[in-house]
Amino acid sequence: LSELEALMERMKRLQEDKEDEEASQEEMATRFEKEKKESLLVISGGICAFPVQLSLCFLRNKSFDDEIVSTDVSRYVEDPGFGYKDFARRGEDHLPTFRAQDYTWENHGFSLVNRLYSDIGHLLDEKFRMVYNLTYNTMATHEDVDTTTLRRALFNYVHCMYGIRYDDYDYGEVNQLLERSLKVYIKTVTCYPERTTKRMYDSYWRQFKHSEKVHVNLLLMEARMQAELLYALRAITRHLT
């Protein structure tokens, strides 16, 4: 089977398994912990992802190369040392978990951010929903395909990298739908966008259209923004109470 056919077959099998028997809460919690720990080991852009690096996306004058280019971006930011850092150290047994059910965007973050800045919550919520629900119901040359399972896996994997867990989601789906090269791409684009290369972009979902891959990028960026907002708004809520 081609990469595309294999992915569609896994999506179909997951849907059938979900209808036959759902995993227990304990099993889903175990799968999340496994996926969370493995996400810390994903190497970003051919470079170990653990040192703190600047996470800034900017436009170059020429198209991005196959090799990672060392660029001085300090002039674009006030604090060049500020950037993404893994939420836990490698080798730790008990990694912190942010349970989404305890503080959700819909029930908590949305109302708080609207209080802090009138109507911004509505604009952010519309943006999150639009990008998440955006679909042509196609996968490469295949039409009338329900891509909900795949879109949710992409969104939830980004949140998993940030230690956010959804109790009602089976993280076994992430491992079945997102192959290794795609996970590397996701971590690079989400955490270290300046390391993204055309070779990495070309290495996953080779049969997919560029518009579909662009949608992946949009999903990753919105998932990252929502994850960051959840942490920030939860901290503000705790401070206010």
Mean per-residue pLDDT over the chain, rounded: 83
CA distance 205 to 201: 9
Which whole number is the average pLDDT over 112-132? 95
What sign results for the dihedral spanned by CA atoms 16, 18, 21, 27? positive
Q: Which two tokens stand for residue 157?
A: 């994997």
Which whole number is the average pLDDT over 100-120? 94
Contacts of 148 (CB under 8 A, 6+ apart): none
% of the chain exceeding 70 in pLDDT? 81
Model pLDDT for residues 44-78, shown as the tens digit of each residue: 764 433 333 333 333 333 333 444 445 556 666 67
Model pLDDT for residues 146-187, shown as the tens digit of each residue: 999 999 999 999 999 999 999 999 999 999 999 988 999 999
Helix, strand and coil percent figures for the chain, each rounded to 5? 55, 5, 40
Model pLDDT for residues 194-233, shown as the tens digit of each residue: 888 899 999 899 999 999 999 999 999 999 999 999 999 9
> Phi, psi (5° rounding) for residue 209?
-75, 160
Q: In this predicted structure, what is the pLDDT of residue 18?
A: 78
